[in-house]
Amino acid sequence: MIVTAPPSTGFRRRGRLAIVCLTLLGLIPFAAAAAGPSKRQMAQIEGQLRQHVTTLASDEYGGREPGTPGETLTLRYLARQWFDIGLESGTNDPGNTWFAPVELVEREPQSSRAQFFHGKRRVALAEDSYFVVTSGLRSLIENAPLVYVGRNPGGEGVRTELAGRVALVLDSEAAPPEPAKPGPGNAAAARPAVDRAGQLLDSGAAAVLTVLDGERTLEDVMARRRRAGYALSGERIGGDIEAFITPEGARQLLASAGGLDLAALKLVGAAPGFSARPLGLAASLEATNRETRIKTHNLIGKLEGRRPGSGAVVLMAHWDHFGKCAAPPAEDLVCNGAVDNASGLAVITEVARQLSAGKPLDRDVYLVATTGEELGLLGALAFAENPPLPLGSVVAAFNVDSTGLVPAGLPVSVVGQGMTRLDAGIAKVLKGLKRKLAAGDAANAFARRQDSWMLMQHDVPSVMVSTSYSDPARLEAFMDNVYHRPSDAAASVVYGGMVDDVLIQTELLRFFADVKAWPGTGPAAGLAAGAK
């Protein structure tokens, strides 16, 4: 799901945009939910959406990869749109108006070495029987004893047994990983449900050596780990070492020490009260990564409310995608990301146009186009860690990711339903619009795979509301055939549901930006409003 990015080509532009006002085509905002928009207004919204998607998902934009000329084109296009609509810079940083710098580091595995010992004697294993990776730049442990830990989940109690040792675990004993089905965004999708290795490392193990005797093969693990990993620059660089070994390699290793074989170990590990067993073996492990820095940006605009200090509402969509994602001889190399997520950018831009042209709102509305979503929700993380406004003042945040999949008129899904205090307010707005909420919470499968998750982790009530997740068949067809592929191009975007999303989001923003409709910023105030 995460595609390795080529090295950054740099990004220079910063500062104020040239002020060029484009005359808009006499757009009239739809006034009140009750009256509803006219056919002509809906056609105008659709025309605008189509223009944004066609532009942002064109080959000229190169798949909108962070740190490339595609970023410059994307952010310049959006900022000009937002400026013309009437937004001002929302970065709250006079040195960096509109474009909030975000620095990413990309780490790619470079080398992997392992040596195993029984006493002083080296146990020679084939090089293709193991793989060593680190989360840091270079990690090395020398001659550390191997200890089998069974199903031991780590914890304070085993700290002395693990300290300075390599914990050996069997993959067949691990909890089953999360289903690998991809969704919009991807960060959480690649991780197993229980991070056993992480728990053991946290409990003091010098490294973890996993015997791949379960469903995963060494090739699976290597393919996943060889993809670049990304992080925000300035995040603590870990130095954890993890190693993986084939069952044949493990058998050879255990035999060299004359101890138990894998099956016997498993029996021992399953015994009640088992915590750890030294294996009479030791390992030296080394892994290095290559590091590249990528300078990229979140675009932040603001529509100022008329009641300063009354809080803010955030509307966001990620602008980044994968750039070139196929290799010759394929003819189409660019992942244009039309649905994912030119569609979301188009929707938030048209919502902003409606809001700006309508009755003034009480609260500030922040429009955020995030970078690095495809690399692990990193732009949203940067926004949350270095916000242009106190996060506690954000009464609601709405993300738009991968719309443009369905025709008009479908029920509305809330990704994050039941996870925030916004549900009651959303229900009220949908009722006013005579829109049906989709039954069940199937859409929550995407909760961790999109930017609002990152805000939720920082206690900002944040959800994704769209009609695009209400048709499982279409969603599945998209995921299986189009998602993160060159075929996610403008030609396949469906606009009816996107127009719906613009109308719905506009009313949601109006509602949550209204201090009477949605009174407070504290959880109690939100609940009180919701309880009515």
Contact residues: Zn ion, CB under 5 A: 340, 374
Closer residue to Zn ion (CB): 340 or 451: 340
Report, in Å, the least distance between residue 449 CB and Zn ion. Answer: 8
Report, in Å, the least distance between residue 297 CB and Zn ion. Answer: 19
Q: How many CB atoms lie within 10 A of CB 262?
A: 14
Q: How many CB atoms lie within 10 A of CB 213?
A: 19
Count of H helices and E strands in the chain?
14, 15
User: What is the DSSP secondary structure assignment for residue 7, as one 8-state letter?
Assistant: P
Closer residue to Zn ion (CB): 41 or 371: 371
Closer residue to Zn ion (CB): 65 or 340: 340
Report, in Å, the least distance between residue 2 CB and Zn ion. Answer: 10
Closer residue to Zn ion (CB): 340 or 350: 340
Closer residue to Zn ion (CB): 148 or 469: 469
Q: How far apart, in whole angstroms, are the C-alpha atoms of residue 139 and residue 133?
A: 9
Token reading at 98: 């509109």
Q: Alpha carbon of 363 to those of 11, 310, 517: distances in Å?
A: 33, 6, 12
Q: How far apart, in whole angstroms, are the C-alpha atoms of residue 363 and residue 305?
A: 4
Closest-CA residue to 339 (of 451, 494, 187): 494
**Helical pair 523-531 and 423-432, crossing angle rounded to 10 deg:** 40
Q: Are strands 121-123 and 99-118 parallel, antiparallel or unpaired?
A: antiparallel
Question: Of all residues in this chain, which one has the CB nearest to Zn ion in the complex?
Answer: 340
Report, in Å, the least distance between residue 126 CB and Zn ion. Answer: 38
Q: How far apart, in whole angstroms, are the C-alpha atoms of residue 463 and residue 455?
A: 9
Q: Phi then psi for 493, rounded to 5 degrees? A: -80, 140
Q: Alpha carbon of 470 to those of 32, 48, 137, 213, 490: distances in Å?
A: 25, 24, 44, 39, 21
Report, in Å, the least distance between residue 337 CB and Zn ion. Answer: 7
Closer residue to Zn ion (CB): 187 or 201: 187
Report, in Å, the least distance between residue 340 CB and Zn ion. Answer: 4
Closer residue to Zn ion (CB): 286 or 374: 374
Report, in Å, the least distance between residue 333 CB and Zn ion. Answer: 17
Q: How far apart, in whole angstroms, are the C-alpha atoms of residue 205 and residue 199?
A: 9
Report, in Å, the least distance between residue 478 CB and Zn ion. Answer: 11
Closer residue to Zn ion (CB): 148 or 478: 478
Contact call for residues 197 and 241 (beta carbons, < 8 A)? no
Report, in Å, the least distance between residue 29 CB and Zn ion. Answer: 31
Q: Supply angle C-alpha 128, 129, 135, rounded to 5.
A: 90
Tokens 């989001």, residue located: 505
